[in-house]
Structure formats: C-alpha cells, structure tokens
Amino acid sequence: MTSNLTLITGGAASGKSAFAERLVRTNGGQKHYLATAQAFDDEMREKVKKHQNMRGQDWITYEEPFNPALIIANLGENDILLLDCATLWLTNLLLDNRDISAATSTLLAAISDSSASIVVVTNEVGSGIVPQDALSRKFRQAQGELNQQLSAKASTVAVVISGLPMVLKGQLPDKLA
C-alpha cells in the first residue's frame, strides 16, 4: 500500500473529477494537474476547456498522454498531483499498441517512489454487458486489472456515484467526509 495515493473511481459523468479536484484543494500543497486526454475533435476540446475552467488558474497543468511517470518523478513532498484520468491513459496506450503491462509497472513504481500526494481518477467499466468486439473486451479487461493494481497500492479508494463519494478503503479528510 502506498500512503500517498488516493484512487477515485466511478462511472462516466459520475462527478469523480469534480470530487477529486475538491479533494486536492483540501490538501494545501502546490496543485498539479496531469491531463492524459488527447483532444482530437471539437467535443473533446470543449470538454477539456470546461475542466480547465472548473479548476481555475492556480494549478500547474501538464499534458502527458503516454508516460505520466515522467511528471510524477519531478514532484516533491509539498506537491499534490491529480492524474485525470487513468482510463484515457490506458486508451491511449491500447490504441498506440504500447506495452500496457510495462507502462503500468512504470506508473506504479513512480507513484511508490514519489513523496508527493497523488490522486488518480479512473472509470469503473466492468459493470455493464460483455462487449461484442475483441478490442472492447481487451480494454475492459485491462481497465479492470489497472484499477485493481491502483486500488491495491492506494491508502484511500472512493467510488463516486451521482456526485456522491463512498469510501471503499481508508478515509477522506474531515472536510470532505
């Protein structure tokens, strides 16, 4: 277990990113935002802009779709990082035919080695039907395995449903509990 890691999971549009941002704001350290999304169309560019406006100007923002460990390695003990999100990062790896196992090992090692506080947002995708095509099944399996590995390392894990967090492991700061 890594005491510096908090994992926030939930379904699409569940409020997990907004909750994770509130969680980071309670920390008091220098806020860093690691965006893994790649905006290839107008809808995604608009979504990115909406997230930026919600956060405000007092965050240091990085865009790193493939190797978040590079950013994590440069953080110090007074920093708090929000990695949003592991699901898009995994999608980037899968679609670029990268070695998911090696990339996951690198990410988990960087988190373990870091003295910064780290909050990771991820999607819970395994509650639906079995996907029809092989790529979707491969993604669902990889996402489930990634989430299990992240939650095993995390000191705190919460699921957000309809904007409401429910703690699965550890505890949230008193301000948010």
Per-residue confidence band for 175, with pLDDT thresholds at 50, 70 and 90: low
Looking at per-residue pLDDT, the higher value among 102 and 57 belongs to 102
Per-residue confidence band for 2, with pLDDT thresholds at 50, 70 and 90: low
- Side-by-side strand order, sheet with 164-169: 60-63, 30-35, 79-84, 117-123, 2-10, 154-161, 164-169
User: Where does the chain show beta strands of DSSP type E?
Assistant: 2-10, 30-35, 60-63, 79-84, 117-123, 154-161, 164-169
Q: How far is the C-alpha of 120 from the C-alpha of 17, rounded, in Å?
A: 9
User: Where do the domains of the chain lie, and which CATH numbers do they carry?
Assistant: 2-169 (3.40.50.300)
Catalytic residue among 51, 98, 140, 169: 51
Residue whose pair of structure tokens reads 């669902």 in the numeric block? 140
- Whether the pLDDT of residue 177 is over 60: the answer is no
Angle formed by the axes of helices 134-153 and 100-113, nearest 10°: 20
- Whether the pLDDT of residue 149 is over 90: the answer is yes
Residue whose pair of structure tokens reads 């460990």 in the numeric block? 69
- Whether the pLDDT of residue 38 is over 80: the answer is yes
Q: Supply the pLDDT for residue 131.
A: 86
User: Over the stretch 117-142, which tens digit does the pLDDT of each residue have?
Assistant: 999 999 999 887 888 899 999 999 99
Nearest to 88 by CA among 51, 116, 129, 54: 51
Q: Supply the pLDDT for residue 166.
A: 96
Mean pLDDT across the stretch 57-85? 95
- Whether the pLDDT of residue 151 is over 60: the answer is yes
Known catalytic residue at 32: no
Q: What is the pTM of this model?
A: 0.94
Mean pLDDT across the stretch 65-90? 97
Nearest to 21 by CA among 89, 80, 108, 62: 80
Rounded to the nearest angstrom, the gap between the alpha carbon of residue 1 and the centroid of all alpha carbons in its chain is 17
Q: What is the mean pLDDT of the chain?
A: 93
Q: Supply the pLDDT for residue 56.
A: 80
Q: Supply the pLDDT for residue 133.
A: 93
